[in-house]
Structures are given as structure tokens and as C-alpha cells.
Structure 1
Amino acid sequence: MEEQNYDALLNIITVGYQMGFNQSMHYHHYEPTPYCALERLFDHYQLKSSDRVVDFGCGKGRLNFYIHHFFHATVVGIEMNEEFYQESVENRNRYLKMTKKSIDNIYFHCCLAQEYQIDPLDNRFYFFNPFSIQIFMKVINNILLSVEKFKREIELILYYASEDYLYFLENQTSFELKEEVKLSDYEHNPYEKFLIYRLAY
């Protein structure tokens, strides 16, 4: 299905890219995960309605609405850019108006990723290479501190992951690679894949 058709299905507007760049080099420009990539990912990776998925660098909320629509899971979008945050809230209003759902389990927060307070129910975390390794390490440490207080199964979903991310996870944490989902362009671009990491106890 075409990008615009998915947006129409969900009654949202997420097509388009960020104009300009963030002032800090620690935060990367906005780019939504292609719908075709999400189709591929969820052909191999399933979520449950009891999951609570946090998307760091959610932009306009595409992943959040896709997951909510197909899996009915709780979704949380974290976005530092106020303009994108406002667009995600507007998308949320359009989506809920279209779906007419009485249960509201779609949340957006305008804050820095490392300042988000990990909820005890958060158990799935999505990263489309949104920021530097320094910020990534802080976020992962926040997740691990939360797990120390409230033990639960934790998985990370990484798309276009940098080598720094992977080195940190595999050498300085207890996360282990659970699954790899390659996309059609993988032969031309080895970063074109999803990596699923599970926290080992």
C-alpha cells in the first residue's frame, strides 16, 4: 500500500521530511519509518494488546498510529520538536475521531528522550536512529533502572541502527539479539534492517 494510502486509512498526515536541522548535533533530523518497512517488520514480529510501546523521536506519530490500529497496544511517542509534537497531537485527534474508539491509550510527550520517565508498564522501545550514542546510552540506562524497580520482559526494536548503538548494547549491557529482519534493499544498504534485542536476566 502506498504511503499516502496508509495515511488516509489512519486519517493522519505523516508524509514529508523535516526542513532544516536541529541545533544540537546529538539529535538527528526527522524521517518517518516507511510503511513498507513496517509491513515487513510486523510480518515477522508480533505485538500484543497488553504491550506498551515507546517510540523515541516519534515525529508526527506514524509508528504509534500504525501499531495502535493493527495491534491495539498502548503507544507512547516522545518528541523534542514542539512543531512535530503538535502535529502528532493533531494526528491523534483526527485518528480518534475516525476510529471513534472509547479507549484512549495513545500518548505523546514533548521532552528530551533522556528526560522521559520510564513507566513501569513500558516494555517495548523503538529507535529509528534518533540521536547520538551519548543520548542512546542515557535512555538505555533509564530503561535498565526502571527494570531494576519493576522487573519485566523488555525488548528494543532498532531500525537503521548505528554501529555505536550495537557495540554499546552487545558489550556494555545484558541485551541480546533476538531477531533480525532484513528489508529488500539490504544487499545495497546493510543498515536497511530491523534488529530486535531482548534483555537477558
Structure 2
Amino acid sequence: MADNENTWDKLLQVKTTGRDDSKAGHDYYPYEPTPYPVLERLANRGLIRKKDVVLDYGCGKGRVDFFLSYQTKAKTIGIEYDERIYQSALENQKTAVSRARTVFVLARAEEYEVPSEGNRCYFFNPFSVEILRKVMAKIMESHEKKPREVFLFFYYPSEEYLSYLTEVDGLELYDEIPCGDLFEGNDPRERVMVFLLPHNRTENER
């Protein structure tokens, strides 16, 4: 696994390895990069394409952004509240092969105004379910203002996350991408759960 991590970082010309819990607390969880094999499997699913705009919540050093923008040609927007880690993402952006398609924003996720073109959202347990509720409210508000198909990807989701997500009105469970075979132990949480906000047309569009 370590070889794979270093190989991809070298190819993308970034440095995204290592865990960082210096500012972790009750609401915001430690930075830990999504393993590259998981991102490979997600990219190969065909749910993220060149025309899409991916919002990466709790982007950390930018691994998801650099990888997906490289592999799928989509535009990525990384959202990070920790200024020190955000600066690491900006440093990586200077050398990244896919830097032209990546943007980073220093903001708290629950305060970030979702852009109308944002139609893919990625989460790797970056914060508490209380923060997730506020983030989802922002996403739903943007979706209501501009109806569009929005996919939300949750890697290694907690039961608390899933319990909440299944209760969100209008949000549909779309797919499950199993990843347990990529690691030892066959952990049942090793998966990407895919939810969908469908394109509900407004009266003016009908």
C-alpha cells in the first residue's frame, strides 16, 4: 500500500501522505488521505466526468482533488477550514500536474456557499454529523435554486452518517462501491456509499 501511495504522489507531483490530527476535535476530525486504490475504484465507476465539478469537503492536502482532476478531467474544489493544512494544499497545487483544474477554498464547510455548477460532493468523515446536517442544508438549498443531478460520495461512512442520510428528504441511495478487498481484514466499512439528489425540474423547465 505504501508503494502505491508514493507512486501516485510522485506521478501527480504532490505530497499528500500522512495523518494530521493537530486541530482535531469534537466536530472536526483528523486529516487522513483517502487511499489511492479507493480513488481509482471511484474514478473507474464512471460517475465523475470532464463536465462535472467536484466539491471535496475537508480536502486536507488535496489528494482527492489532484487525483480526480487528473483521472477524470473534472474540475475540483477543495474546502478546508484548517489554514495550515490549506497552505499545504496550495503548496501542492504549485507543482501538481492537474493544478489547472483544481481550486482550494479556506472556509468552514457549514458556511461554504455551494456553487451552482457543483454537482459532485466527496466526504471521508471530515466532521461530525451535526456539521454534516448544516452542510447538507447548504447543498439542498443550492440544488433547489438550480435543479441538477448531484451525486454525493461517502467513503468509509459511519453508522451515524448513514442513519442521518437515509432520512434526508429527496436524497436517494444510488450505489455502493465495495472496497474491502483492497485491504486486509475485509472491514465492512471499506466502501463508498453513493447518494443522489435527482434533477427535479421546476415548473419553468417543464
| Shared fold per TM-score greater than 0.5 | yes
For residue 34 of structure 1, what is the amino acid of its counterpart?
P
Write the distance in 1 (CA, Å) between the matches of 2:163 and 2:21.
31
For residue 152 of structure 1, report the CA deviation from its aligned partner. 0.7
Q: Provide the residue aligned with 2:43 in structure 1.
A: 42
**1:159 — aligned with what?**
155
In the TM superposition, residue 48 of structure 1 has moved relative to its aligned partner by 1.2
Unaligned runs of 5+ in 1: none
- Cα deviations across residues 153-194 of structure 1 (Å, max 9, x unaligned)? 111000011112212221132111111011114963111100
What's 1:191 paired with? 189
TM (norm. structure 1) is 0.91
Determine what percentage of the aligned residue pairs are the same residue: 37
TM-score, structure 2 as length reference: 0.89
Counterpart of 1:11, as a letter, is Q
- Within 5 Å, which residues of 2 pair with 1:21-170? 21-22=23-24, 24-95=25-96, 98=97, 104-170=100-166
Query: SS state of the match for residue 167, structure 2?
Result: helix
Deviations 1:87-119 (A, max 9, x none): 100111111xx56x7xx3311011110111100
Gap runs ≥5 in structure 2: 201-206
CA distance, structure 1, for counterparts of residue 73 and residue 42 of structure 2: 17
Question: Which one-letter code corresponds to 1:144 in the other structure?
Answer: M
Q: Which runs of 4+ in 1 moved over 4 A?
A: none
Aligned length: 195
Q: Distance in 2 between matches of 1:19 and 1:133?
A: 18
| 1:195 counterpart letter in structure 2 | M
Amino acid at match of 1:178: Y
- Aligned residues of 2:154 and 2:193 also touching (Cα < 8 A): yes
CA shift digits 1:104-152 (9 cap, x unpaired): 3311011110111100000000000110001000000100001111111
Please give the per-residue CA displacement for 1:52-85, whole angstroms capped at 9, x wherever unaligned. Answer: 0000000000010001111111100001111110
Q: 1:21 to 1:83 in 2, by over 3 A?
A: closer
- 1:186·1:193 contact (CA, 8 Å) conserved in 2? no
The question of whether the paired residues in 1 share the 8 Å contact of 2:15 and 2:92 is answered with yes
Alpha-carbon distance between aligned partners in 1 of 2:14 and 2:103, rounded to the nearest angstrom: 15
- 2:189 maps to a residue whose letter is Y
Secondary structure class of the residue paired with 1:3 = helix
CA-CA distance at 1:21 after TM superposition? 4.2
Counterpart of 1:76 in structure 2: which amino acid?
I
For residue 14 of structure 2, what is the aligned residue in structure 1? 12
Amino acid at match of 2:90: V
Residues 108 and 157 (structure 1 numbering): CA distance in 2 closer, same or farther, change over 3 Å?
same
User: One-letter code of the match for 2:9?
Assistant: D
Task: State the one-letter code of the partner of 1:56.
Answer: Y
Kindly indicate whether the alpha-carbon contact (under 8 Å) linking 2:110 and 2:138 is maintained by their aligned counterparts in 1. Answer: yes
Aligned residue identity for 2:11: L
| Cα distance in 2 for residues equivalent to 1:34 and 1:70 | 15
